[in-house]
Amino acid sequence: VLKQALNDPEPNVRWDAAIALAKQKDASGKRIFLDLLDRKYLDSFPNLDEIEQVQVLMVVINIAPLLSDSDLVEPLTQLKNNDSNLKVREAARKALLNY
């Protein structure tokens, strides 16, 4: 059911499915995870304010090490080095310690 939800037309459903799968160490939603680690992607949702963006980023950053996927290192590094939010930067730094 979660894997099917990765193709749902509603972004929140796709995001939640990718997060739920990642918590089970299933990387089926990796493409969605890569999108969620990209501020430009998050900016494309006008109803997602800065606080909500940070919440999304924090969840994804904290779960990313469960996947142990090297494709996530670059976006995490970008967040660690460049994000405007210090909490996001610190979370990304800590997540990268697990790679």
For the segment 13-69, what is each residue's pLDDT rounded down to a tens digit? 999 999 999 999 999 999 999 999 999 999 999 999 999 999 999 999 999 999 999
Whole-number Å distance between alpha carbons of 78 and 38: 9
Alpha-carbon span 53 to 42, nearest angstrom: 7
C-alpha angle 47-82-45 in degrees, rounded to nearest 5: 15
Residue type at position 44: S
Nearest one of 8, 10, 15 to 53, comparing CA atoms:
15
What pLDDT is stored for residue 29 in this prediction? 96
pLDDT score, position 98: 87
- pLDDT above 90: residue 99: no
Helix crossing, 11-23 with 50-67: angle to 10°?
30
What pLDDT was estimated at residue 58?
98
pLDDT of residue 42: 97
Residue 86: exposure state from Cβ atoms within 10 A (0-12, 13-18, ≥19):
exposed
